[in-house]
Amino acid sequence: MPPKKKTPGPSAQTGVSARARADPSRKIGNANAVAAGVDLSRVGVISDRELAWIQRLATEGEGGTFADYRAAQERQRKEISSTRKAGWPDTTEARHEHFLQRQAEEKEEAERRKRALDELYHQEDEEARRQVNARAELQHMVDDPRGQCVKSARLLDETLKGREQQVAENERQRAADGVDRARELAEIQARDWGQAAEDARLQLELRQRNVDTKLANLELLAEQIDERRQGRAAYRGGRAQVDAEAAEEAAENFAEADARRRRELANGVVNKANSRKAVNKADKLQRRIQEDAVADEERVREEARVDALKQSTLQKQQQKQGAFAARQQLGLEHYQETATKPGATYRTQDVFEEKGESFLDKMYKGDAKRVETQRETLRHADFGDTELQGDRPSTWRAATHHGAQARTSGFLSKEEEEAHVLETRALPAKVRAEAEAEAAARLAAAQQLKAEQRAQADERREQNLRAKQAQQDEELREEAAMKADNERYQQFIEGQLPKDMNPVLRKRVQQLR
């Protein structure tokens, strides 16, 4: 049975911590007063904060705060201590400096080792990369179809050398057999028949082995020759198939080209039947000249029409002015005739002339009053309600603003009429000047266009020359690279062949290459 759990105390149950206890050894601070529950306002002990505040007030007039004063004192103390302990090797500062120096040296040594290892790894990677490239280049040279006959040539050379050695060995054996034949006959005669038969059997076995070796070499040579013949036959068969496929493809291309040529001829006939003549620069210039001539004719006709209209207008104006002058003269004559005749003078007329207003004066005064009223209305409208002025109809300004009245000839004044006459007279010269300026502008534009086209043609010519030169340089570089590759591969082939190889085979290999 497990033990029972202990029940927590009342302080743990309520979650309230116990009060701090007073410490008689504590001489500074208000902790004892707080522990005793005494009001701080009645405690005569100065707190640390109040003490720091008093010290700051005491040192504030000396040029800084108490914190600055304490910092200065601490710096001075550290300087004095550092000066006094400068040569001590077992101080904390010295040990710390030694530790930092040793740590820096270890870090530098680790970095040096890391750099050395990185350099070593880099060199190993470079060497591995060079080896991979060398193996790839060697494999590429081995797989090159130009050297496919090197292996067969080497085998054939070894076979021929073995055959020559076998022939020489057989010659030496026959010579030795010829020299020892007499001695062998004597020995055979001296020995018994069994020994002679055994010797004969051994001799026959030796000769049989020589014959078997020779036959094996000949069979190997025959197999190599058959293999080469089969390879050449397969190469010729593949070449024949490739030639047949090339001939078939050439026939198909020829048929397609023939059909395309026929379609182009048919399209050419249709295009020629439906085509229009190409317009060159001379035709464009001729057409422009014709258009300018037509435009000049139109301009001349328009000037003549305008001059005729102006002349008719001037004639009408002159006729109107003459009729007005005639009517004015008639009116003046009639007025003179009526004014010179003495009329009857009455008393009322005399009184009217002496005391009354004349009709002309009354009209003048009425017109002046009307003008003043209009000015007042305009002034109130301008300064009183500018927003409503825009909403008024156009007839309001026409009713309140009397503009200048036109003359009998249609102009407001004689100066305007004279200016119009001068402008009408200067119009042909102005039109001619504009036409000349337009022609000069067209000529300048044509010259600029021609210069731009010439510059573009020169640029295209330079680009073509540069492209051609670049192509020639590229061909020369390719030819030099091909030549260098052939020389390098020739050296590779020479390294693959033995030095004492048959000259005929060596020459054959070089030719097949």
Q: According to the 3-state scheme, what is the secondary structure of 423-469?
A: HHHHHHHHHHHHHHHHHHHHHHHHHHHHHHHHHHHHHHHHHHHHHHH
Q: What is the pLDDT of residue 97?
A: 83
134 and 170 inside one domain: no
Same-domain check for residues 138 and 184: no
* 6 or 64, which is more confident: 64
Residue 202 lies in a domain: yes
Q: Which two tokens stand for residue 59?
A: 């040192």
Count of domains in the chain?
3
Query: Is the pLDDT reported for residue 418 higher than 50?
Result: yes
> How far apart, in whole angstroms, are the C-alpha atoms of residue 68 and residue 73?
9
**Is 133 a member of any domain?**
yes
Burial of 509 (0-12, 13-18, 19+ CB in 10 A): buried
Within a domain: residue 488?
A: no
pLDDT given at position 134: 82
258 and 172, same structural domain? yes
| Distance between CA atoms of residues 450 and 468, nearest Å | 27
CA dihedral (130, 136, 142, 144) positive or negative: negative
Per cent of the chain over pLDDT 70 is 75
At 158, the pLDDT band (50, 70, 90 cuts) reads confident
State whether 134 and 186 are in the same domain.
no
In which domain, by residue range, is 102 found?
Answer: 95-143
76 with 131, same domain? no
Among 18-27, 279-288, 443-452, which is the least confidently predicted range? 18-27
Q: Would residue 125 count as lying in a domain?
A: yes
Question: Is a pLDDT exceeding 60 seen at residue 12?
Answer: no
- Contact (Cβ atoms closer than 8 angstroms) between residue 427 and residue 310: no
- The residue-averaged pLDDT of 146-159 equals 73
Residue 390 lies in a domain: no
For the ranges 46-55, 246-255, 272-281, 497-506, the maximum mean pLDDT occurs at 246-255
Query: For residue 426, which amino acid is it?
Result: A
Residue 355 in contact with residue 447, Cβ under 8 Å?
no
What percentage of the chain reaches a pLDDT higher than 90? Answer: 11
The pLDDT value recorded for residue 65 is 65
Note whether 117 and 47 are same-domain residues.
no
Return the structure tokens found at 400. 């309140």
Q: Note whether 197 and 261 are same-domain residues.
A: yes
Q: Based on the domain organization, do 114 and 133 belong to the same domain?
A: yes
Whether 21 and 35 have beta carbons less than 8 Å apart is answered as: yes
Average pLDDT estimate for 206-213? 86
Q: Is the dihedral of CA 351, 352, 353, 357 positive or negative?
A: positive
Q: Quote the CA–CA distance of 435 and 52 in Å, as a whole number.
A: 101
Cβ pair 478, 495 in contact under 8 A:
no
Q: How many CA atoms lie within 13 A of 466 on its CB side?
A: 6
Q: How confident is the model at residue 38 (pLDDT cuts 50, 70, 90)?
A: confident
- 224: confidence class by pLDDT, cuts 50, 70, 90: confident
Question: Greater confidence, 232 or 116?
Answer: 116
The size of the chain, in residues, is 513
477 belongs to a structural domain:
no
- 165 and 246 co-located in one domain: yes
- List pLDDT tens digits, range 464-486: 999 999 999 999 999 988 888 87
Window from 118-122, 432-436, 486-490 with minimum mean pLDDT = 486-490
Q: Range with the lowest mean pLDDT among 6-20, 100-114, 299-313, 345-359?
A: 6-20
Model pTM score: 0.27
**pLDDT tens by residue, 365-401:** 777 777 778 777 777 655 444 444 444 444 444 444 4
Residue 14 is assigned to a structural domain of this protein:
no
What's residue 104's pLDDT? 92
Residues 109 and 202 in one domain: no
User: Domain check: are 76 and 156 in the same one?
Assistant: no
pLDDT of 359 above 80: no
Tokens 């000047």 belong to which residue? 433
Give how far Cα 453 sits from Cα of 265, 440, 447, 466, Å. Answer: 33, 20, 10, 20
Tokens linked to 319: 């006729």
Residue 81 tokens read as 């201590």
Q: What's the number of CA atoms in the CB half-sphere (13 Å) around residue 412?
A: 4
Does some domain include residue 201? yes
Q: State the Rg of the chain over Cα.
A: 67
Say if residue 211 is in the same domain as residue 229: yes
Residue 151 and residue 512 in contact, taking contact as beta carbons nearer than 8 Å: no
Q: So what's the pLDDT on residue 10? A: 45
423-453 per-position pLDDT tens digit? 888 888 888 888 888 888 888 888 888 889 8
Residue with tokens 């010295």: 94
What one-character DSSP code corresponds to residue 60? G
SS3 78: helix
Tokens coding 458: 């020169």
